[in-house]
Amino acid sequence: MNISTYPDQEILKIAFGFKKHLKDKYLRTANNTTPLDEAFIYRFKALFYEVQSHHKTHESAEKTQKYLLTLEDLTDQARAYLIIFRFYLQKAFPYDSELSEQYGYVEMERIKQDHAEMRNLLEKTISIIHERNKFLVAAKCPDCTLEGILSLSNKINQVHDEMLQELQRAEEQKKTYKNNIKELFSLMEQIHTYASDNLKDEPEKLKHFVLPATNYIH
């Protein structure tokens, strides 16, 4: 049997049936022994609940979406400040076109789609503000523009870092889920094999512990 031929939801459905009937009296043979002991049953049920819990939750995706919406709003605010900043940068350094080119339309559109690029540009901007502050002041660049850039840079960094941590956590959960469902299916195969060998003369019991042929899955 191959796990890839069974959709995850179907595996959970079958596992639920196994769990419901997984009692010693169902699996005991004539000599009253079974390798599917209490520890096995406990592990099976624990894995079932872990997989079921992960399968039902969309919390991580919802959190990531909230972070993305927040970053989109903060990025729009930052772009507005950077466009104003570019104007005063050109006033302060009219002969340094390369300095202001990084705030052109194409760059502003690119950073809108790339949060890492936005952070990079904001860091460069803050360096310019610190290194060339007296020239910007002489060009009458408003303090609120400079303060807004500094504040938004901190906010964007914080939200972006939190989102990356959430994505990493979600990826780790995904790996754990895949490992758990593989182990759960392996235990289901053991139950199927054991029941097929030991309960073939008891069809009413056997039917609760066999994996259906994949072509019968709905």
pTM: 0.76
Question: What confidence tens digit (pLDDT) does each residue in 38-48 have?
Answer: 888 899 999 99
Report d(CA 68, CA 115) in Å as an integer: 10
Report d(CA 29, CA 100) in Å as an integer: 82
* Secondary structure percentages of the chain, helix, strand, coil, to 5: 80, 0, 20
Question: What confidence tens digit (pLDDT) does each residue in 46-87 have?
Answer: 999 999 888 666 677 888 899 999 999 999 999 999 999 999
Q: What percent of the chain lies above the pLDDT cut of 90?
A: 56
> Environment class of residue 16 by beta-carbon count within 10 Å: exposed (0-12), middle (13-18) or buried (19+)?
exposed
Contacts of 61 by beta carbon, 8 Å cutoff, 6+ apart: 170
Largest CA distance in the chain: 96
CB atoms near residue 82 (< 10 Å): 24
Question: What confidence tens digit (pLDDT) does each residue in 111-136 have?
Answer: 888 999 999 999 999 999 999 999 99
Mean pLDDT throughout 81-98?
Answer: 93
Nearest-5° Cα angle at 22, 16 to 25: 155
Question: What confidence tens digit (pLDDT) does each residue in 3-42 have?
Answer: 778 888 999 999 999 998 887 556 655 455 566 778 888 9
The predicted pLDDT at position 2 comes to: 76
Place of tokens 């914080």: 158
